Structure formats: structure tokens, C-alpha cells
Structure 1
Amino acid sequence: MKYTGIALAGAVLLIFALFTAGCAEQAKAVQTGTQETIKITDGFGRTVEVTVPPQKVICSNVGSLRYLVYLQAQDKVVAVDSIEKKVNQNDARGYALANPQFMSLPLFGEYRGKDDPEKIIAIAPDLIFKSSFSNTPAATNKENLDELQRKTKIPVVGFSIGGLRTESEKNELCLAFNLMGSIMGKDERAKEVIEYINATIEDLEKRTKDIPEASRRSVYIGGVALAGPHGLLSTEPAYPPFEWVNAKNIATQFGTEHADIAKEYITATDPEYIFVDLSTIQDTSGGSAIDQLKNDPAFKGLTAAKNGNVYGVLPYNWYATNIENMLADAYFIGKIVYPDQFADIDPVQKAEEITAFFDGMPLMDQYQKNFDDLVFKQISL
């Protein structure tokens, strides 16, 4: 692929309704003398000179390797951080399950961005992608990225991983895909990923947008992971699947970030449906969301528990957000709470389609194995 006149990394945003125009000016790639050398403005305003297309890359910190897999550029990965070398029987990271070869690659550092410059120098990648959470201060990111580049003398391109909860997160997600795509020669794939997300959300929303407010079901997601497994009180107040299918999330009032809410609030609001993020089953001490629903008298009295309306869904977070899981979960949730609007949908088949698009292969058989055959199933209490 020739890199003459590489397009603005965010310009593709203009044709997709999902992402706002703010991304269009956030990342620039311009020719600087040869077809292979460009200057890129990364997600934190840093100008980085890189050789394109890079043949050897590493992806540091949460989400960055996931995004490279989404862009179908995993063949350029030459080393991984420590989380990619751990065997976890409850793994929910589709990108890793679809690429077991990552486990045999050299180690460049510990997970969550704890890089080892000496190891990186020995591996000698052409480029380092390094991500961060959206709420990390830009100044901190710039300092860390500059320091890693200074120590390794290897170009470091940084960005926030973004997400789908807020417009700001959507902008960052757009930037990440387009920035990585423009560098890796995967511009078209980046457009395709954005378009697929957009079309999927539009399909979910149009199925349920005409449901009267009085007929919208009350729902709750519990057991959401954050740096490890959590119990029923751990939730996402802006859980996107609920937003997309127009269900009433009882935790909405707690903002847009992950939250742990009071047990009394759950019992007082008494949702009609409870969905359990199956990352919770990693807690084998009796503190999982399922254990709590089975054993806590207050939770056993919930309407959802008494009516059999408790269901397992794919984990939302696992080394950052699993976008494919989120989209697949939304179809299952829609099928449960609004069966008429999703009469044509087989949630398992839809999940196979979605994981194949993002990760290169259908993954539901592996997910069922990893999560005790509870994915998209009613949980017996």
C-alpha cells in the first residue's frame, strides 16, 4: 500500500452517524519525504515520526492489542504483555481466544502498561502502540509516552481506548481505530469496523424506539468486572446494551462510570429483569453475583429472582471493554425483554456472526465452555 497523501485519520468519521465530527481533527498523518515515513499526531497531540507500514509492533496497556485484532493486523505483533501469557479458564477476551499464538510470543513487560524498556529494546519492534483509559490525564499520558520513547528510541503512538457509553468515549474510540488503521495500512478495515458498530446499534435502536415509556422494562446488570471479579452490587449505570434496546436501567442515576451501588437500592427499585455479567464466576469465595442471588435473603425476594428472570451475559470488561461481547449481549437482552421486537433473532447465532466479524472466528462454543454453559441462559437460583 502506498502512503502518499495519507488521509486524516479521523476523516472517515464524517460519514458515520455513530461518531461525532470532533474526531476528524484529532489525528493527522502526512508524508515527510519518502513513501514510508510519516508524521502522525497521536491521541494526545504528540507528533511522532513512524515508518509505515510497520512490520513489527507491540501493543501496550489495556485494549490496544484487542483493537489491532479488530483491524486484522495481528500478524505484525512480535511480543505481548504478561496478561496474554496467562491461562485463564474463564477468559472472555475474544481477541485472545481467537489468537492463541499470542501466548508463545516474547514478553515485553507486565500488563496494564508496566513496560520493560530493556526487553523492548531487545525485541526491537518498529513501533509501540500504547493505550490508556479515557479518564487518565493527558499530561500524564504524554509524560509516560515520551519517557518510553526516550528510553527505547522506538516510536510510541498513544491514544485513549474510548468506548460506547458517552459521545466523548465514542470520539476516542473512533480516533483509536482510524489512527491505528492509518499507520498499519488498514484504513478500509477501520472504516468497516466503525460502520459495523454503527449499523448494529442502529438496528438495535430501531427495533425498540417505538415502545411506549410505560411499557419499557426495568433492568439491572450486576457482577460487572473492574480490575477483577465483583459481586451483584458492581454495575454500569450507562450500560450501552440497555440504552440501545431502550430498557430502563435502574442504576442510570449513578452517572456514566462504573459504580458499586447499595443493596438497599436494588431491593427498593426491584428490577423486572437481572442480567449477570459472567465475569463474576471467577469469584469462588461465595461473593459472586450468582452466589449472592442464591443465598442473600434480600436478593432472593427480588421480583426477577422469584419470576426466573435472571440471565447470564458475556463479560463487559476484561482488560478493557469487549465491544463484540457488548453488541452480542444487546441482542440477547432485547430478545428477553422485548421478544416480539426480536422475534427474528437467534442470539447465539447473532453472537457467532459478531465475534467472527471482530475476532476472525465464531466463539460461542468457547465462551460456553469458559462460563459454565451460562451464556445467554436463565440462571437457576
Structure 2
Amino acid sequence: MSKIGSPLFLTAVLLTALVLAAGCSGNGAAPDTGKSAETRTITITDGLGRTVTIPSPPESVVCSGSGCLRYLVYLQGQDLVVGVDDIEKEDQSVEGRPYALVYGSQFKDLPLIGEFRGKDDPEKILAIGPQVIFKTGSSGSAYSISASEADKLQEKTGIPVVAFSYGSLRNDAEKAEMYTGLSVMGMVLGKEDRAREVVSYIEETIADLENRTADIPPSGQKTVYIGGVSYAGSHGIISTEPAYPPFTWVNARNVAAGLGTVHADVAKEALVDWDPGYLFIDLGTLQMDGGGAIGELKTDRALGGLTAVREGRVYGLLPYNFYSTNYETVLANGYFIGKTLYPDRFEDIDPVEKADEIYTFFVGEPVFEEHNAEYQNMGFAEIPL
């Protein structure tokens, strides 16, 4: 088992999150007894180290920034939302967010708080009057969130702002950010148990994936590449994730590893030279003209010579990124990848059934079929070329 999937890592992350969320009243959840039951408050430390006093528990919230509303759905707090950013109100030709498949109609009818990616309109938020504003961003990107930005929004609205980094599953530091964000949000909402349940589910799922393939020697590891990865929009075959977590979890050898930890555009010539045994395509690429990466594999002579193309080992994965990371889809993709590469290690797994189990846990409904239909039913299947 890798360090990030170990019990020690999970314990350390949870302890860190609890310390960050602890308030000034001794245990972080103690109410201000000078307040009435209707207006009691707690003081917490958010994911950016800011001290914030909030109603406990709040009866109305808004979520600002990529993925923030997704976390609220994970914690089963969607009925508290009283306003949304503009991406939740748009009619998407393809809906790449499982949480929006379930709750999109509910969110679409809510008042507007500003533009997507955290471009808030303080006057609109004031007019709605939520008791708490949650605000998130992605570390190391153009859409990160700083303490000063959170302070400024709080000053303009007079409403408590609880901020945290969205995190990721790519490395220990970003995983700790993710777990801290979930724990802080859970503390604010009075849903600490659900936050711990979500963190434990993620850890147990990753551990299961890792344990199934842990003893595969380097010589037996399949070579893989994922192309067409969505990143602030749809992209073609050269768009990849050098640290794509599911490859790591199932001990597959990512031929693009070493090109960073977030996103990379590789030279087509490099892909041809690497010649991975298996190609996986993020189906967000289908939103490009000509079918994106799939169209390229069909029409580009050099790409057509890849072993995976010639031998029919090109497979579709449901989109990894759509308004930040769909973690439930990342985990589900891991089981399909594992089953495809090492079927004997996953003989008890039906990837579609497993995906629906995961979707139900995170967003409340088994949405694989509906989600996959948006991508021409190419998910978890060989792509005919």
C-alpha cells in the first residue's frame, strides 16, 4: 500500500483537519452561550488558517469557486444552498458533473451569486443573505484562493467566509488539502460524521485498488497513456495527466510520468515513440470538433501506427475534470482501468456496477448510465477505430 493510502496517513490528515477546524472556545464546536439557540455561534479556523465566527449550524449557505458545490453535495448539504454561480444555471450540451445530473434542476432555479471560478458579485450575495459563504480554489493554478481574497469578500458582504483549497488525489500535500476542506466544511455544517465517512470511503477505495495489484513486479506492469484530458475545456490526444492517480493505484506504468504533477501537453512524436500498450481516452474530448482525440486516432497516420490502436486496446473513460475534479469518477475509472489491464485481479468487479455504487455514495444516485449516454456510451468500453 502506498503512503497516501495507509492508515497512518489517514490518521495524520484527520488529526490535522481537526486541529485546523478547532475553534477558540476550547473544542471548536462549543457554542457561544451568550446567544440564543437560534443565533448561537462557533469559532473555527478554516483551511487557509483564518479564524471565522459562524452561526452553528447555518441554515443557508452559498458556494463560490470551482468544485465548492460538489463538496457540499458530498456532505449531503445541498438543501442549504440559496444561491449559485452562473455555471450552475447554464444549459450544458453535455453535463460532465455527476452532482449536477442529480441536483442540477434544483440549483438552476436559485438566485445568482456571480460568475463561475469564484468571480463573486458581493451585491448579489448580500441581496440573497446567506449565513455562510464557502469559497474554494485550486492550489498552484490561476484559480487558487488566498486568505486576503476571502477576507475582502467577508468585508464587502459582512457574511462569514469559510475558505479552503480544493486539493487533489495526486500527492500527499494536495490530498491533505482536500481532506481538510471536507473536514472544515463538515464542522461548519454540523456534518462531521459525514465528512469522516467520505474521507474513509476514499481511503478504503484507494487501498482496495492498490492491494489488488501491489505484488505485480515492474516487468509485469502494463504501459499506459491517457489522452484528451479536459483542462479548463476540452482537448485532443496530446493533453494528458502525468500523475493520473488511477494509473498509480493499479500499478500501471504511465509513459508520460515525470512531466509534472498537474497537466501536460506532450509532443505527438513523443507519444508515438513511447508506444504505450494501452490507450485510455478522457471522453470530454468528444466536445471538440471532429471528435477530438478519437478523431485524431482515426485520421492521423502516425497515431494509427500505435500498437494500442492496431491491436484494439483503446478505451473510453468518463471525464476526470469538469469544473474541477469529479472525485467519484476518478475512483470509478480506477476500477475500469484495473479490470482492463489486470482482469484476473479484478474478476469479482463489474466496473459499471462499481461505478454506480460509488456514484450513489457521493451524489446520492446511480448515474453511470445517464452520464455515459452523454458521451455516446463510450465509457468503460473499447473505442472502435
Considering the TM-score relative to the shorter chain, is it more than 0.5? Answer: yes
Query: Could you say which residue in structure 2 is the equivalent of 1:28?
Result: 22
Residues 1:240 and 2:234 aligned together: no
Query: Could you say which residue in structure 2 is the equivalent of 1:210?
Result: 215
Deviation, 1:140, is 6.2
> Matched residue of 1:294: which SS?
helix
Query: Could you say which residue in structure 2 is the equivalent of 1:171?
Result: 176
What is the 5 A alignment of 1:53-92?
53-92=57-96
Residues 1:16 and 2:10 aligned together: yes
Residues 1:329 and 2:333 aligned together: yes
What is the 5 A alignment of 1:146-185?
146-185=151-190
Query: Aligned partners of 2:10, 2:244: CA distance in 1, in Å?
Result: 22
| AA in 1 matched with 2:337 | I
| AA in 1 matched with 2:327 | I
Any conservation in 2 of the 1:57–1:77 contact (CA below 8 Å)?
yes
What is the 5 A alignment of 1:226-237?
226-237=231-242
Query: Which residue, out of 111, 114, 118, partners 2:116?
Result: 111
Q: In the TM superposition, what whole-angstrom CA distance separates every residue of 1:296-344 from its partner, at most 9, and x where no partner exists?
A: 1111100000011000001111101100000000000000000110111
Q: In the TM superposition, what whole-angstrom CA distance separates every residue of 1:259-278 from its partner, at most 9, and x where no partner exists?
A: 11111111001000000001
Query: Could you say which residue in structure 2 is the equivalent of 1:7?
Result: none
Query: Aligned partners of 1:228, 1:15: CA distance in 2, in Å?
Result: 33
Deviates more, 1:31-40 or 1:370-379: 31-40
Q: In the TM superposition, what whole-angstrom CA distance separates every residue of 1:195-231 from its partner, at most 9, and x where no partner exists?
A: 1001101110010011121011000011111110001
Q: In the TM superposition, what whole-angstrom CA distance separates every residue of 1:243-284 from its partner, at most 9, and x where no partner exists?
A: 000000001111211111111111001000000001111112
What is the 5 A alignment of 1:277-296?
277-284=282-289, 286=290, 288-296=292-300
> In 2 relative to 1, CA 141–346 (structure 1 residues): closer, same or farther, beyond 3 Å?
same
Query: Aligned partners of 1:377, 1:164: CA distance in 2, in Å?
Result: 24
Unaligned runs of 5+ in 2: 1-6
Query: Which residue, out of 354, 358, 368, partners 1:354?
Result: 358
Query: Could you say which residue in structure 2 is the equivalent of 1:302?
Result: 306
| AA in 2 matched with 1:79 | G
Query: Aligned partners of 1:137, 1:295: CA distance in 2, in Å?
Result: 34
Q: In the TM superposition, what whole-angstrom CA distance separates every residue of 1:160-204 from its partner, at most 9, and x where no partner exists?
A: 000100000111011011000011011100010011001101110
| AA in 1 matched with 2:378 | L
Any conservation in 2 of the 1:83–1:111 contact (CA below 8 Å)?
yes
> In 2 relative to 1, CA 241–291 (structure 1 residues): closer, same or farther, beyond 3 Å?
same
Query: Could you say which residue in structure 2 is the equivalent of 1:5?
Result: none
Residues 1:102 and 2:117 aligned together: no
Query: Aligned partners of 1:19, 1:218: CA distance in 2, in Å?
Result: 32
Query: Aligned partners of 1:51, 1:152: CA distance in 2, in Å?
Result: 15
Deviation, 1:16, is 3.0
Residues 1:38 and 2:42 aligned together: yes
Unaligned runs of 5+ in 1: 1-12
Deviation, 1:89, is 2.9
Deviates more, 1:173-182 or 1:134-143: 134-143
Identical-pair percentage:
52
> In 2 relative to 1, CA 15–234 (structure 1 residues): closer, same or farther, beyond 3 Å?
closer
> In 2 relative to 1, CA 14–73 (structure 1 residues): closer, same or farther, beyond 3 Å?
farther
> Matched residue of 1:229: which SS?
coil
Query: Aligned partners of 1:98, 1:84: CA distance in 2, in Å?
Result: 12
Query: Aligned partners of 2:31, 2:358: CA distance in 1, in Å?
Result: 39
Deviation, 1:25, is 3.4
Query: Aligned partners of 1:140, 1:65: CA distance in 2, in Å?
Result: 15
Query: Could you say which residue in structure 2 is the equivalent of 1:315?
Result: 319
| AA in 2 matched with 1:70 | Y
> Matched residue of 1:335: which SS?
helix
* Structural RMSD (CA): 1.8
Any conservation in 2 of the 1:163–1:173 contact (CA below 8 Å)?
yes
What is the 5 A alignment of 1:265-280?
265-280=270-285
